[in-house]
Amino acid sequence: MATLEVKNLHVSVDIEDGKKEILRGVDLAVKSGETHAIMGPNGSGKSTLAYSIAGHPKYTITGGAVTLDGVDVLSMTVDERARAGLFLAMQYPVEVPGVSVSNFLRTAKTALDGEAPKLRTWVKEVNDAMDKVSMDRDFATRNVNEGFSGGEKKRHEIVQLELLNPKFAILDETDSGLDIDALKVVSEGVNRFRSQGDRAVLLITHYTRILRYIQPDYVHVFVGGRIAEEGGPELAEQLEAEGYDKYVRVSA
Amino acid sequence: MSHLHPVPSYELANHPLPTGREEVWRFTPLKRLRGLLDGKPSDARLKWDADVPEGVIVREISADEAAELGETKPTDRPSALAVANGGDAVLVDVPAETELTEPLIVRLSGTNPDDVIWGHIVVRIGRHAKATVVFEHNGSAIYSATTSVVVGEGANLDLASLQLWEDDAVHLGQVGIRVGRDAQVRTFQASLGGDLIRIVENVEYDGPGGDLKMYGLYFADAAQHIEHRLFVDHNQPHTKSNVVYKGGLQGKGAHSVWVGDVLIRKIAEGIETYETNRNLVLTDGCRADSVPNLEIETGEIVGAGHASATGRFDDEQLFYLQSRGITSDEARRLVVHGFFADIVRRIGIPEIEQRLLAAVELELEQNVGAPLVGVA
Ligand SMILES: Nc1ncnc2c1ncn2[C@@H]1O[C@H](COP(=O)(O)OP(=O)(O)O)[C@@H](O)[C@H]1O
Ligand SMILES: [Mg+2]
């Protein structure tokens, strides 16, 4: 049983003339076995929250704490956070020219496990993971995310989720830009991950659509850099019907 | 006279001692040439060790014979001195219509860092012949060489030159290439070692239809000067050139220079040229000069362009890799490998590709630690 805790988190980015505060006191606790949905309008700071937990250098933490079972996450390097069990499926996965998917996955697996995976079983695992998200096996020889379509990039993130099998997965708008078939494939991947029982998911989304396939235990409405309201799955239904308007007006 | 119209000449008088202010010398630290510009005579030779496939003739010829063969002439002082002082030249002759299945590999090595050595090599690829020729430089020397490559009609040549010198070596090389009518030429330069390397490649065409691809990879370490200059003279219509050079730099005083001059003469209608140079700067204290230069004298062309970019590691790439548990050193190593991989893969000789990747690996270890896993 593990807990990821975000306490009163304040985050800024550097802009031309100084700093711009984006997160203004975020409180959140996610336990293993739970799925939390974070829903909010564009620009509300959802990606900033995800990146800050993962340790992206662009964001400056100006206050608050992030802990994993009481251990300070913010003082860890990016790769240490991953090795502590955090995983971020990115809204815009990055292209890495000249580095093959297969080399990338193997290097990541080796880094996480502290030893290289057994070659024969590993190749099979990679193939299976790709098959499950209907990704052609040829992608293994292609360069990481280079020339991938939006949907292919997202499937590739799910392949990584499957193979690297973290304790805490943050999925940043993995559903955005997917057609319905891809959305189902991606959701199935997330549900397989969840079905292990002790895994935690922080599902960041702009739309309620994906929540038809992935049932959250908790829903947080994210507006203006903080959580504006919290509830159960019924809150998602309410958002579906009413949109973010009332929260945006309150926060403005 | 523009440096895009160099005067090919054997006469030393036509190649005065540079002061360092000349366009073609302005980046080169002349003091570190260790006497090569003075033209000190020397009988010393690099050790020549070659795998010569059947059908290829390798023999010594006099400098006069080399001139009679119609070799390309020197365009700067060190190359003129190499011909004047080099004594006999080595002729690598692939007769017409000979198709080699194995590469011709020549290993040239020096054993004394104080030896001044002059070299003169002529490579002749007969019409409709097909060959891969590799020159590999190792060890230590103060070396200046003129290499002339004459490629016959419809021939197909892959030519690689690897500079894998020890840290104290100095190498000035001029490579003159004449691309025959409808010939296909791919050149590959890799400069990784040495104190100072300056390679000048001059290409001209002997008829329409010639297709040139030039690739290069270099890696400059602390205090190392690596300079690649190329001049592609589109002096014939319907010719093509495509140039891609990539460099890495690390350590204080590492200096790379890439100058890509392309001239499209008035007569050269229907040509196509593109050149690009990219540099990846790994640490502070490095300097990468990159100067693409296109001079167009006719508007009747298919396409012409150039690109040059020098940058640091991409934070987003490193973050993506690290967010998967990969350490920052390992992430950097992967990115550098990826940066060079597309160039290395074009060599087409697996053994040499492996060795070059290993050499890049070795360079990186100085900075970013040993690799975690092998490269696929
Ligand atoms: N580097 C940056 N410079 C300036 N503003 C930024 C930067 N990064 C993010 N922002 C701003 O921060 C706010 C939150 O962005 P983001 O976290 O991406 O929101 P979301 O993911 O909810 O759409 C937006 O207003 C965005 O424009
Ligand atoms: Mg976002």
Which uninterrupted H or E stretch holds B179? strand B170-179
Interacting residues of B315 by C-beta distance below 8 A, sequence separation 6+:
A57, A58
Give the span between the Cα atoms of A49 and A29, in whole angstroms. 13
Nearest Cα residue to B297 out of B269, B265, B274: B265
Q: Which helix (H) or strand (E) holds B295?
A: strand B287-296
- Tell whether B336 is covered by a domain: no
Beta carbons of B281 and B247 less than 8 angstroms apart: no
- Which range marks the domain in which residue B215 is found? 12-313
B3 within domain boundaries: no
B291-335 pLDDT per residue, tens: 999 999 998 999 999 999 999 999 999 999 999 999 999 999 999
Strand partners, A144: A96
Picking from B217, B223, B282, the residue whose alpha carbon sits closest to that of residue B249 is B282
Specify the residue for token string 């020098």. B310
Please state the atom number of ligand 1 nearest to the C-alpha of residue A48. Answer: 17
Instruction: Yes or no: say if B188 and B346 are a contact pair by the CB < 8 Å rule.
Output: yes
Q: Is B375 on the interface with A (CB under 8 A)?
A: yes
Which position has the higher pLDDT, B366 or A164? A164
Are A1 and A165 in contact, with CB atoms under 8 Å apart? no
Please, what's the b/e burial string for B65-92 (b: 16 or more CB within 10 A of its CB; e: otherwise)?
A: ebbeeebbbbbbbbbbbbbbbbbebbbb
The Cα B371–Cα B321 span in angstroms is 15
- Cα–Cα separations (whole angstroms), residue B338 to A96, A159, B190, B253, B361: 7, 21, 16, 24, 12
Residue B218 domain-assigned (yes or no): yes
- Does residue B34 form part of some domain? yes
Q: Do B315 and A83 touch (CB under 8 A)?
A: no
Backbone torsions φ then ψ of B78, nearest 5 degrees: -60, -35
Whether B362 is in a domain gets the answer no
Looking from the CA of B331 toward its CB, the CA atoms found within 13 Å total 20
Query: Is A100 an 8 Å CB contact of chain B?
Result: yes
Element of type H or E holding B149: strand B130-151
Task: Tell whether B95 is covered by a domain.
Answer: yes
List the shell of residues around ion ligand 2, using CB closer than 5 Å. A 46-47, 91
Which ligand approaches the C-alpha of residue A173 most closely?
Answer: 2
Nearest CA in chain A to B344: A98
Q: Is the pLDDT of residue B39 over 60?
A: yes
Sequential DSSP letters for B206-237: SSTT-EEEEEEEEEE-TT-EEEEEEEEEE-ST
pLDDT confidence of B367, banded at 50, 70, 90? low
Instruction: Quote the CA–CA distance of B119 and B106 in Å, as a whole number.
Output: 13
In chain A, which residues have their Cβ closer than 8 Å to the Cβ of B327? Answer: 79, 111
Q: What is the mean pLDDT of residues B53-64?
A: 96
Q: Using a 6 Å cutoff on CB, does residue A46 contact ligand 1?
A: yes
**3-class DSSP state of B68:** helix
Give the model confidence (pLDDT) of A122-173 as tens digits: 999 999 999 999 999 999 999 999 999 999 999 999 999 999 999 999 999 9
- C-alpha B4: how far from chain center: 18
| Separation of CA B344 from chain center | 14
C-alpha separations of A157 from A68, A88, A133 in Å: 23, 9, 10
Whether residues B325 and A90 touch (CB distance < 8 A) is answered with no
Q: Which residues contact A115 (CB under 8 A, 6 or more apart)?
A: none
Q: Which two tokens stand for residue A46?
A: 């959802």
For chain B, the helix, strand and coil percentages under 3-state DSSP, each to the nearest 5: 20, 45, 40
Q: How far is the centre of ligand 2, averaged over its atoms, from the C-alpha of B276 (Å)?
A: 35
Could you tell me which of A33, A78, A35 has the C-alpha nearest to residue A55?
A78
Q: Is the pLDDT of residue B370 over 70?
A: no
CB of A98 within 8 Å of a chain B CB? The answer is: yes
For the record, the structure tokens of A79 come out as 């790769």
Rounded distance, CA B13 to CA B84, Å?
12
Which residue CA neighbors atom 18 of ligand 1 most closely? A47
B1: pLDDT strictly greater than 50: no
Q: How many folded domains does chain B comprise?
A: 1
Q: Is 90 exceeded by the pLDDT of residue B257? A: yes
Joined together, the tokens standing for residue B166 give 């020890």
Average pLDDT over residues B221-234: 96
Q: Does any CB of chain B come closer than 8 Å to the CB of residue A96?
A: yes
B331 token code pair:
């992430």
Cβ neighbour number for residue B201 with a 10 Å cutoff: 24
**Domain membership flag for residue B134:** yes
CB contact under 8 A, B320 and A164: no
Atom of ligand 1 nearest to the CA of A172: 21
How confident is the prediction along chain A (252 residues), in pLDDT tens digits per residue?
799 999 999 999 999 999 999 999 999 999 999 999 999 999 999 999 999 999 999 999 999 999 999 999 999 999 999 999 999 999 999 999 999 999 999 999 999 999 999 988 999 999 999 999 999 999 999 999 999 999 999 999 999 999 999 999 999 999 998 999 999 999 999 999 999 999 999 999 988 999 999 999 999 999 999 999 999 999 998 988 888 888 887 655
- Pick the atom of ligand 1 nearest to A225's CA: 14
Q: What is the pLDDT of residue A23?
A: 98
Looking at all shown ligands, the one closest to residue A44's CA atom is 1
Of all ligands present, the nearest one to the C-alpha of A45 is 1
On whether any CB of chain B is under 8 Å from the CB of A93, the answer is: yes
For residue B355, being part of any structural domain is answered with no
Put simply, whether B330 touches A (Cβ < 8 Å) is yes
